[in-house]
């Protein structure tokens, strides 16, 4: 059975209300050929801060990379829709996970080999500590996220 993203977001919101969960931000996952476990709408009234992140493999070791280097610090902006554009030129599946205080707050879903996608993350708070990693390669594909105004 296939559910629309609106249905999934509605169920997540209702479950959160029923079971006492709170949502500290709006998250959106948009991808090409990706499996996204959660898809909530980001705030379209915010300015967009776009970042690039690509899976990288060298000698069997996987890392995230962009023009700043390997497993770079990602710079999210407060009061912005922070969009991480993802590419996977490797032969294995990857999944970008964002955590706060050790708890998952966003996921890109599976990024298949040779595919691209994006993960949007809005309403972050300055001073909040965020980290990112790959679900399948957490010890080598990981980094931190700073938040600026």
H-type alpha helices, the chain: 5-18
Q: Say if residues 108 and 29 touch (Cβ distance below 8 Å).
A: yes
φ/ψ of 56, rounded to 5, equals: -140, 145
Whether residue 21 has pLDDT greater than 70: no
Which domain, by its residues, includes 129?
A: 5-148
Output the domain CATH number for residue 136. Answer: 2.60.40.420
Q: How far apart are CA 67 and CA 73, in angstroms?
A: 11
Residue range 48-95, pLDDT digits in tens: 999 999 999 999 999 999 999 999 999 999 989 999 999 999 999 999
The count of domains in the chain is 1
Higher pLDDT, 146 or 1: 146
């Amino acid at each position: 059975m296939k559910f629309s993203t609106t249905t999934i977001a509605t169920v997540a919101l209702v479950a959160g209300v029923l079971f006492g969960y709170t949502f500290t931000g709006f998250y959106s996952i948009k991808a090409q050929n990706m499996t996204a476990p959660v898809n909530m709408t980001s705030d379209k009234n915010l300015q967009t801060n776009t970042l690039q992140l690509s899976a990288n493999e060298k000698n069997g070791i996987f890392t995230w990379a962009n023009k700043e280097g390997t497993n770079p610090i990602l710079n999210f902006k407060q009061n912005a829709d922070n969009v991480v554009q993802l590419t996977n030129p490797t032969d294995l599946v990857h999944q970008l996970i964002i955590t706060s205080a050790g708890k998952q707050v966003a996921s890109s879903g599976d990024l298949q080999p040779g595919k691209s996608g994006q993960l949007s993350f809005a309403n972050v708070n300055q001073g909040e500590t965020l980290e990112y990693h790959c679900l399948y390669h957490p010890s080598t594909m990981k980094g931190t996220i700073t938040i600026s105004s």
